[in-house]
């Protein structure tokens, strides 16, 4: 689908803006959903204008106007959604059900990539109650896509380096700590984690490392006791840390039939070592 026309939804977000950039760089006619609700958000407006200057087509639409979504979808071949889903920020994953309805009605979409870009929700059925909702919501969207028989690709990007590597996975900063580091794990498991720099659809920079540095936090504190008297958002973040570093949930499985490992699909991509990545934080 080299010349496919792509509609990016959630284009002004952390992931979305990079998808727009990648789509334009690879010569795809790129449409950007421009929501009326953006209103006076000057940063978004300016970013959208920049996309337009770079060759994107701005298409007006709203999640509260079904026909506008159908009209936007009808103009393209592929829809990529990067709507926000991080629990400790806004939580809009289920809004995608409206997009699924629009894609179903339009009937022309050759591929839909919903907003995933994290841990594979189908492997997180056992997740701790706190923070589980995000995985559950992503599974609800998957089911709707599959029930509607829309061709799809799900991207499990695991842990973005910007969130997890730069700040050494501390929960209070995205910058590396200078004086003290919390150590995660139980001391018995090798903390294998999969990190990925921001996903840009066709070209990815992935790096995986055995993160021996982070090994013993949960050995000394019972997990439940950490969760006393903290903000719900922080609780959810701790739950992620638990699954990633204690359980090794991003690495302890075989991908299996129907899935592909991105580094095999894109062997030309240059890997970045963690120490190399961290140099920009010095
Ligand atoms: P952002 O919080 O940056 O938001 C993305 C976009 O969602 C916004 O810019 C906006 O786009 C749209 N949006 C926000 N609120 C609404 C609303 N009420 N109605 C409609 N659209 C809305 O999201 P991220 O880029 O951080 O997250 C995208 C995906 O990536 C999520 O699925 C998330 O779980 C995943 N992720 C994964 C990470 C990892 O480490 N693996 C880390 C961070 C995210 P616009 O205004 O342009 O319409």
118-142 pLDDT tens trace = 889 999 999 888 888 889 999 999 9
CB 15 within 8 A of CB 82: yes
In angstroms, the CA 153 to CA 112 distance is: 6
pLDDT value at residue 86: 62
Q: What integer pLDDT is reported at residue 13 of this predicted model?
A: 93
pLDDT of 1 higher than 90: no
Greater confidence, 181 or 129? 129
Interval 240-262: pLDDT, tens: 888 887 777 887 778 887 787 77
Distance 212 CA to ligand 1 centre (A): 31
User: pLDDT of 8-41, one tens digit each?
Assistant: 999 999 989 999 998 998 899 999 999 999 999 9
What distance in Å separates the CA atoms of residue 234 and residue 230, rounded to the nearest whole number?
6
Question: Would you say the CB of residue 15 lies under 6 angstroms from ligand 1?
Answer: yes
How many CB atoms are closer than 10 A to CB 137? 21
Angle between the N-to-C axes of helices 96-106 and 132-147, in degrees from 0 to 180, rounded to the nearest 10: 10
Distance from C-alpha of 89 to C-alpha of 8, rounded to nearest angstrom: 20
Angle formed at CA 264 by CA 274 and CA 164, multiple of 5 degrees = 30
pTM over 0.85: yes
Q: Number of C-alpha atoms within 13 angstroms, CB side, residue 187?
A: 6
DSSP output for 162-178: HHHTTTTT-SS-SSPPS
First to last CA, the chain: 41
State the CB neighbour count (10 A cutoff) for residue 107: 10
pLDDT in tens, 201-225: 333 322 222 232 222 233 333 444 4
Most confident of 13-27, 59-73, 179-193: 59-73
H/E stretch holding 160: strand 159-160
How far apart are the CA of 180 and the centre of ligand 1, in A? 31
Pocket lining: 13 vs ligand 1, CB cutoff 6 Å: yes
Q: What is the DSSP letter of 245?
A: I
Distance CA 219, CA 186 (A): 4
Pick the more confident residue, 268 or 120: 120
What domains can you pick out in the chain, each with its CATH number? 6-157 (3.40.50.720), 163-282 (3.90.25)
Examine the pLDDT at 85 and tell me if it is beyond 90.
Answer: no
Q: Kindly indicate the confidence band of residue 186, based on its pLDDT and cuts at 50, 70 and 90.
A: low
Q: Is 251 in contact with 191 (CB distance < 8 Å)?
A: no
Question: Which atom in ligand 1 lies closest to the alpha carbon of residue 15?
Answer: 25
Cβ of 88 less than 6 Å from ligand 1: no
Evaluate whether 128 touches 243 at the Cβ level (below 8 Å). Answer: yes
- Structure-token match 């030309």, residue found: 268
């Amino acid at each position: 689908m080299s010349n496919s026309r792509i509609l990016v939804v959630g284009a002004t977000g952390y992931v979305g803006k990079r998808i727009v950039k990648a789509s334009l760089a690879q010569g795809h006619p790129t449409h950007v959903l421009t929501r009326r609700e953006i209103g006076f958000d000057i940063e978004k407006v300016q970013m959208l204008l920049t996309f337009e200057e770079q060759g994107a087509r701005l298409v007006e639409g709203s999640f509260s106007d079904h026909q506008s979504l159908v009209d936007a979808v009808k103009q393209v071949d592929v829809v990529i959604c990067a709507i926000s889903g991080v629990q400790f920020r806004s939580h809009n994953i289920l809004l995608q059900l409206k997009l699924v309805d629009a894609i179903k009605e339009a009937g022309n979409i050759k591929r839909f990539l919903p907003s995933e870009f994290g841990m594979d929700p189908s492997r997180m059925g056992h997740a701790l109650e706190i923070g589980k909702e995000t995985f559950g919501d992503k599974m609800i969207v998957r089911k709707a896509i599959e029930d509607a028989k829309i061709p799809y690709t799900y991207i499990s990007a695991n842990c973005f380096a910007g969130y997890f590597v730069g700040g050494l996975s501390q929960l209070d900063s995205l910058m590396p700590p200078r004086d003290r580091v919390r150590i995660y794990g139980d001391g018995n498991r090798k903390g294998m984690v999969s990190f990925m720099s921001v996903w840009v659809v066709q070209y990815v920079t992935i790096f995986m490392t055995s993160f021996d540095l982070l090994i013993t936090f949960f050995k000394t504190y019972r997990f439940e006791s950490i969760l006393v008297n903290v903000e719900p958002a922080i609780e959810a973040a701790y739950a992620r840390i638990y699954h990633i570093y204690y359980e090794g949930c991003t690495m302890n499985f075989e991908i299996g039939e129907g899935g592909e490992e991105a580094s095999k699909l894109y062997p030309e991509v240059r890997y970045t070592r963690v120490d190399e990545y961290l140099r920009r934080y010095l």
